[in-house]
Amino acid sequence: MHRKSNRQGKAITMRKIREIYRLNRLGFNNKEIARSVRCASATVRKFLNLFEESGLSMSNLESLSDTELQSALGIKTSRGPAGKQMASVDFSHVHWELSRSKAMTLQLLWEEYTQENPDNHYGYSWFCEHYKEFKRPLNATLRKNYKAGEFLFVDFSGLTIPYYDRQASCPKNAELFVAVLGCSNFTFARATESQRLLDFIDVHKEAFEYFGGVPQVIVPDNLKSATTKACIYDPDINTTYWDMARHYEVAICPARPYKPKDKAKAEAGVQLAQRWILAKLRNFKFFSVHEINEKIEDLLEQLNDRPFKKMKGSRRELFEGVEREALGSLPDQRYETASFKHATVNVDYHIRFDDNFYSVHYKLISQKVTIRATKHTIEILHNNQRVASHRRRYTKYIHYTHDEHRPPKHQAVTKWNPTRLRRWALGIGMATYKLIDSIFDSFKNEDHGIQRVLGILSLSSKFSNDALEAACKEANETGSKRLKYIRKIIEQKSEAESSKESSQKRTANSHENVRGPQYYKPEQSEVN
């Protein structure tokens, strides 16, 4: 309410000025009016004269606002010297200067104002008071009515709970996570070892299971576990957090940076958790986060059962009666926390993750892919489509390859394995099997002997199995395991057999009717 001063310096309000005019219209004299409104008779006379000079009627008086009436009566609001016009202040500019820099103060802006208007400026107290009046409408709060099952507000308390690890000399601090449903204010709280991503995801899963359902939207703060890049309009959601939301079919709508009113429910929930949970834990000594959570569970039940101060019922009653049925159903399987990493497919059509190598199709060589890793599975995504899946291994520096990921030529080479080659050798003979087995044993890695073994066994396609078996028997006796040595043995034996067969053939063709070379050789005497 505007306040005016009379000549004696006593404050008089616009309500009293209106009362002076009303009592005058009712026929009271100036002294009676002054006694009623508690001011001097001269003050009553002054405002009656102003009213008469203004030409206003009582009907006008009722329809005008205090500011309009003040202007119509010609009442000055300046607190400067009598008859002196004070320099006006552009409070919109003042507000803009304060908002653009945290270092800016009203004191500095007022001093700049006095330097620009050294002879007709307002005092500092007036300057501050009227800036507050200017700013008051700008601080209006929008009251939101949240629908049942629509919003879940989450945040960390900021205050920690100490606990003593039996193996550590100094205490550790557990974080307090708080989740509040928008409609019923039903609250969930849980202690975690940290605010890191894995802990952040785990407490979300526990919160959903505590509520027995999932909301439509989660409203987190802008911590790194929730957003990788904060932005008022388009924040970047952490990939794992987004993956969890996709599993539970909820949306994530982070609060704007430095806008606590966006998550007022979480702020209020955190404050209640600090007062009714953290404060009650101050005299307890804990040795693990699990012990802290056991105590929090009891205190949380008490918090949700506390009656509201300004309405009937409690958080639990409102949750059970209104919000529980509005929540979405939980999925059949609990979310398995996944981590994500980007990689480029190597020329050997493998990607590296956690010091192991996993194959993808050879056509994706040099392509960018995304690795989704859980505790048990490695999934490889390309263009948001799964192109490979492997069981996660924890033995380091091993290649894990699916045959269908290899090019056709590589598949032809790699279709042979030591077990299959031993089976082939056994079909030829025991000597061959013994040689092949000794070759594999001579290598630290059996796969390295596959090419040599395959070369030896392929001789059976050019020579008979008996010839190969005989050569392998001789090789076992001499200790030689080289392909060229075995080939030479087979070729030598083959040539010897061919020569023997040729000699036998000539012998078989000799009989008495066949003239030999002596028949055509002339006698010595005839030559002479």
pLDDT (tens digit, 0 to 9) for every residue of the chain, 528 residues total?
445 544 443 457 778 888 888 888 888 888 888 888 888 888 888 888 888 888 777 777 777 777 777 777 777 554 445 445 778 888 888 888 887 777 889 999 999 989 988 888 888 988 898 888 887 776 655 556 678 888 899 989 888 888 987 776 688 899 999 999 988 889 999 999 999 999 999 999 999 999 999 999 998 988 888 887 766 666 788 889 999 999 999 998 888 776 666 667 778 878 888 888 888 888 888 888 999 999 999 999 999 998 888 778 888 998 998 889 999 999 999 999 898 999 999 998 999 999 999 999 999 999 999 999 998 999 999 998 999 999 999 888 888 889 899 898 877 767 777 888 889 999 999 999 999 999 888 887 777 788 888 889 888 888 888 888 999 998 888 888 888 888 888 888 877 776 666 665 555 555 555 555 555 555 554 444
**What residues contact 101, with CB distance under 8 A and at least 6 apart?**
none
Dist. CA 177–CA 199, nearest whole Å: 10
pLDDT at 294: 92
β-pairing, 187-192 vs 172-181, is antiparallel
β-pairing, 356-359 vs 399-400, is parallel
CATH of 3-73, one of 1.10.287, 3.30.530, 1.10.10, 1.10.3470: 1.10.10
In the block, residue with structure tokens 């407490």: 203
Instruction: Please state which CATH number belongs to domain 151-326.
Output: 3.30.420.10
| Domain boundaries for CATH 3.30.420.10 within the chain | 151-326
Order of strands across the sheet that contains 339-344: 339-344, 368-373, 377-382, 385-391
**What residues contact 181, with CB distance under 8 A and at least 6 apart?**
149, 151, 152, 153, 187, 211, 215, 319, 323
Task: Give me the numbers of helices (H) and strands (E) for the chain, helices first please.
Answer: 20, 17
| Domain boundaries for CATH 1.10.10 within the chain | 3-73
pLDDT at 14: 79
Q: 340 vs 54, 55, 199, 243, 247, CA distance in Å? A: 78, 79, 16, 10, 15
**Sequence-ordered strand ranges (E) for 157-314:** 161-163, 172-181, 187-192, 217-219, 227-229, 236-237, 251-252
Look up residue 284 and give its two tokens.
């307890």
User: Helical H runs in 26-151?
Assistant: 30-37, 41-54, 58-63, 66-73, 91-100, 106-116, 124-135
The residue among 268, 273, 319 whose CA lies nearest residue 295 is 273
211 and 313 in contact (C-beta within 8 Å)?
no
Q: Which helix (H) or strand (E) holds 381?
A: strand 377-382
Q: CA angle at residue 259 from 253 to 264, to 5 degrees?
A: 75
Dist. CA 521–CA 518, nearest whole Å: 5
The residue among 330, 366, 331 whose CA lies nearest residue 348 is 366
